[in-house]
Amino acid sequence: MRKPKIVILGAGYGGLMTATRLQKAVGMNEVEIQLVNKNDYHYETTWLHEASAGTLHHDRVRYDISSVIDRNKVEFIQGTVVEVNRDEKKVILEEGELPYDYLVVAVGGESETFGIKGLKEYAFSIVNVNSARQIRDHIEYQFATYQAEEDKKEERLTIVVGGAGFTGIEFLGELGNRVPELCKEYDIDPHKVKIICVEAAPTVLPGFDPELVNYAVAQLEKKGVTFMIGTAVKEATETGIIVGKGEDEVEEIKAGTVVWAAGVRGNAIVEKSGFEAMRGRVKVQPDLRAPGHDDVFIIGDSSLVINEEINRPYPPTAQIAMQQGVTVAHNILALIRGKELETFVPDIKGTVCSLGHDDAIGVAFGKKMTGSTASFMKKVIDNRSLYMVGGPSLVLKKGKFNIF
């Protein structure tokens, strides 16, 4: 009898969790599993702000996929997904086609620019290892060029971050550590550097506890960050950005670097494949299948799960993507073995937002924390995510042990 074929698209948090859970649970000849990813490595998306600022080398945030999969049970295919042909039950890759019986779409998210003019052309986004390397090198290039040029352009030393959500704040925290190092390296007076965060919402970190938000703002201001709250980015240009509080109060900020960190949407592949989606995210059924599909599961940043308590979607997080991976592995096997499917219920253990290498804010297990305690917790969370995918050996290889 032909073995059921499971194809997993994306080896990020959700996809890799699905693959590693499945490989533990299946018998040797029970199913065929293929894992497809653009690169032959997995990267910790939640660490990319560090690689982008240059406080952590990009090789520290990635590891070989082959080091965590059991090649007797999972075939890894390096390839780029173009779309899913749902009618013919096959995945179209740039490199060929893959038929499937069960499909897991775990291709992550993309930066959402909300149609703001110039952002795609002139702003960077923290999305993968390549973009992180580019941001790090671009900032360093601006500092080096400023020092080398006769006619000094101080705007080269201005870094604008669009968005004071999780990603924006974590990146600002790292910049606060990196900029003094860069100033030293390139003999630049730190007072000449400007780090500006522009946020359209009336607060930093919307949804976070106000006391923790105040702490974060004060700490980042001490590191040299200026916040422009309730201010929208209207346009990005070759020389900086245009911001405004309303139609009349419009201002241009000249900047050598603009990083857009204000929005995430689902991967374009999802809409291209004809799944009904909101900003690229599919509102999945309680068992994580795409509505109207018995054989397609969608997880991670391309999925949308509603928090019934507040009737709003859960924010896309690695925490949820990994938990979904566990449920999907269970549910696919339940389908194959004729058992009951599980309902996905997120178990939010807490959220910790880093403010640099030794500072953070967060709530974990119902307790508020700041400073080195929160920073310690953040590293525990980072190490736990490695442990869940690759066990103690991956933690030893890639873990964060510089606790204070």
Among 6, 7, 8, 14, which residue interacts with ligand FAD (rule: CB under 6 A)?
14
Is 170 among the residues known to form the active site? yes
Query: Would you count residue 390 as binding ligand FAD (CB under 6 A)?
Result: no
Q: Which stretch binds ligand FAD (CB under 6 A): 10-18, 96-104, 199-207, 279-287?
A: 10-18
Q: Kindly state the smallest distance separating residue 317's Cβ from ligand FAD, in Å.
A: 3
Of positions 56, 106, 200, 363, contacts ligand FAD by CB under 6 A: 106
Q: Which is nearer to ligand FAD, 133 or 245 (CB)?
A: 133
Residue pair 78/42 in contact by the 8 Å Cβ criterion: no
Residue list 273-302, contact with ligand FAD (CB under 6 A): 300-301
Closest distance between ligand FAD and the C-beta of residue 294, in Å? 22
List all residues 6 or more positions away from 42 whose beta carbon is below 8 Å from its beta carbon.
11, 12, 16, 62, 63, 64, 65, 68, 389
Amino acid at 162: G
Pick between residue 188 and residue 261 the one whose CB is nearest to ligand FAD: 261
* Using rule CB under 6 A, residue 8 touches ligand FAD: no
* Among positions 11, 216, 259, 262, the unique one binding ligand FAD when judged by CB under 6 A: 11
**Nearest CA-CA partner of 255 in 236, 244, 234, 240:** 240
50, 170, 174, 271: the catalytic one is 170
Evaluate whether 80 touches 94 at the Cβ level (below 8 Å): yes
What does each C-alpha distance from 100 to 8, 39, 81 come to in angstroms? Answer: 9, 21, 14
Verify binding: residue 34, ligand FAD, rule CB under 6 A.
no
Strand, helix or coil at 172?
helix
For the CA atoms of 66, 68, 72, 77, the dihedral, rounded to the nearest 10 degrees, stands at -40
284: CB partners within 8 A, 6+ apart: 290, 291, 297, 298, 299, 303, 304, 305, 344
> How is the chain split among helix, strand and coil, in percent rounded to 5?
35, 30, 35
**How many residues of this chain bind ligand FAD (CB under 6 A)?**
33
Q: Give the catalytic positions in this structure.
A: 170
Q: Which residues of the shown chain bind ligand FAD in the complex (CB under 6 A)? A: 10-15, 36-39, 42, 45-46, 48-49, 80-81, 106-108, 126, 166-167, 170, 267, 269, 300-301, 316-319, 321
